[in-house]
Structure 1
Amino acid sequence: MPVPKNYVSPIRMSAKERALSQLQRWIIDGTLQPGEKLIDAELAESLGVSRTPIREAFQLLEVQGLVSMHPGKETKVTVIEKEDIFKMYSTMAALQALAAEVAAAVIVPEEIEQLRAINSEFANAIRNGQAFQAMEVDEQFHNFIVELSDNPYVANFSASLQIHIRRFKYVFLKQPVDATQASVDEHAAIIAAFEQKDGKRAYELMKLNFIRPMQELHELL
């Protein structure tokens, strides 16, 4: 199981949190491949922690659906099916579109400027080929809108889906700049709808922002 040997441990995190964070990233970026067997001793050595935090992280990753555990046998990275793209993205599109529609009615100029700054950071990450950072900033953009909608059900369901969508989104954002610039432009259009307090347009634009990548990813994979 090849894993990086130059891992630098983040500060101010427990061993379990560090293990969970890094294992999530390795599953998302493909360092740990779908179906790959995970060996706690090897991962513990690579991350500089004991086997206990690794096993605790496995349990949380299983809850998130990123690994499957078979006590006494093995732990493997879950396999992702191509057809799951439609199920995940269409559901997320509906949740995020609802959040955008509600947010359009309550957003204030300062919050619009925050979204504009986040989108600028997103564009820079894409231009610089920083796919993982672009993914994280994109999530920041959408999470901010969900927060504005003040709907805990949308927030909880979106967070759960987001973990799985990350595995697809990372592949999408690794494409050439011209293939991902549309996401930046769609964000800008959503911001413009917010400025106009146009909830209906914000709803449609947000839905497009998820449906388009869904269709492109299905063709790409």
Structure 2
Amino acid sequence: MPVPKNFVSPVRMSAKERAFAQIQRWIIDGTLQPGEKLLDAELAESLGVSRTPIREAFQLLEVQGLVSMHPGKETKVTAIEKEDIFKMYSTMAALQALAAEVTAKIIVPEQVDRLRAINMEFAAAIKSGQAYQAMEADEQFHNLIVELSDNPYVASFSASLQIHIRRFKYVFLKQPITATQASVDEHDSIIAAFERKDSDSARAMMKRNFTRPMQELHGLF
């Protein structure tokens, strides 16, 4: 299990939090492959921590469904199933479309400006080939819309799905810029719908923003 040595370590985090954040990122970006066996001793050495926070991180990652633990035997990165793309993305599209519909009715200009700024960060990350940063900016954009909709159930279910969708989204955002620019343009259309207080358009464009990459991703796997 080759583990990178030249990664940037988060600051002001406990050993467990640091281990959890880094291992999660390695699973999402494919450094740790689906089905790969995770060795706590090797990860502990690489991250400069003891084996205890690594094992605690494994427990958190298992709750998220990113690893499977078999005490006394092994811990592995969970597999990615192609058909999960449709199940995850269609569910997320429905949740996000609802959030967009509600947000369109209540959003204020300052919040629209914040969404526009985030989308500019998203576009810049795509242009510079920074797939992980692009993924984080994309999530900020959608999370803000969910937050503004003020629906804790949408927020909870979206957050749970987002962890798994990240593994697929990272693959999508690593595609050539011509393939990913459409996401930036769709964000612009959502923002324009918010400015018009057009809830129907906001809902429809948000749904498209998830169903289009869903179809494209299914063709990649």
Common fold: TM-score over 0.5? yes
**What does residue range 167-178 of structure 1 map to in structure 2 within 5 Å?**
167-178=167-178
Q: Is the 8 A contact 1:37 1:75 kept in 2?
A: yes
- Taking the aligned partners of 1:76 and 1:187, their CA distance within structure 2 comes to 36
Name the counterpart of 1:57.
57
What is the TM-score when the length of structure 2 is the normalising length? 0.99
| SS of residue matched to 1:215 | helix
Name the counterpart of 1:202.
202
- Residue 185 to residue 133, structure 1, CA distance change in 2 (3 Å): same
Name the counterpart of 2:68.
68
- Taking the aligned partners of 1:130 and 1:6, their CA distance within structure 2 comes to 17
- Taking the aligned partners of 2:53 and 2:205, their CA distance within structure 1 comes to 42
- Taking the aligned partners of 1:21 and 1:214, their CA distance within structure 2 comes to 26
User: Once the two structures are superposed, what CA deviation does each residue of 1:186-217 show, in whole Å capped at 9, x if it has no partner?
Assistant: 00000000000011110000000000000000
Q: Does 1:82 align with 2:82?
A: yes
User: Once the two structures are superposed, what CA deviation does each residue of 1:106-140 show, in whole Å capped at 9, x if it has no partner?
Assistant: 10000000000000000000000000000000000
Q: Provide the aligned C-alpha RMSD in A.
A: 0.5
User: Once the two structures are superposed, what CA deviation does each residue of 1:33-66 show, in whole Å capped at 9, x if it has no partner?
Assistant: 0000000000000000110100000000000000
What stretches of structure 2 of length at least 5 have no aligned partner? none
Name the counterpart of 1:146.
146
What is the TM-score when the length of structure 1 is the normalising length? 0.99
Name the counterpart of 2:24.
24
Which amino acid in the other structure matches residue 25 of structure 2? R
Q: Which runs of 4+ in 1 moved over 4 A?
A: none
- Taking the aligned partners of 1:9 and 1:26, their CA distance within structure 2 comes to 13
- Taking the aligned partners of 1:121 and 1:136, their CA distance within structure 2 comes to 10
User: Once the two structures are superposed, what CA deviation does each residue of 1:5-58 show, in whole Å capped at 9, x if it has no partner?
Assistant: 223422110101100000010000000000000000000000001101000000
Q: CA deviation at 1:154?
A: 0.3
- Taking the aligned partners of 2:194 and 2:49, their CA distance within structure 1 comes to 46
Which amino acid in the other structure matches residue 171 of structure 2? V
Q: Is the 8 A contact 1:5 1:46 kept in 2?
A: yes
- Taking the aligned partners of 2:141 and 2:75, their CA distance within structure 1 comes to 34
Name the counterpart of 2:184.
184
User: Once the two structures are superposed, what CA deviation does each residue of 1:42-95 show, in whole Å capped at 9, x if it has no partner?
Assistant: 000000011010000000000000000000000000001000000000000000
- Taking the aligned partners of 2:157 and 2:8, their CA distance within structure 1 comes to 32
What stretches of structure 1 of length at least 5 have no aligned partner? none
Q: Is the 8 A contact 1:7 1:47 kept in 2?
A: no
Name the counterpart of 2:12.
12
- Taking the aligned partners of 1:90 and 1:150, their CA distance within structure 2 comes to 21
Q: Is the 8 A contact 1:7 1:46 kept in 2?
A: no
Name the counterpart of 1:3.
3
- Taking the aligned partners of 1:63 and 1:9, their CA distance within structure 2 comes to 23
- Taking the aligned partners of 2:6 and 2:54, their CA distance within structure 1 comes to 18
Name the counterpart of 1:121.
121
Name the counterpart of 1:33.
33
Q: CA deviation at 1:4?
A: 0.5
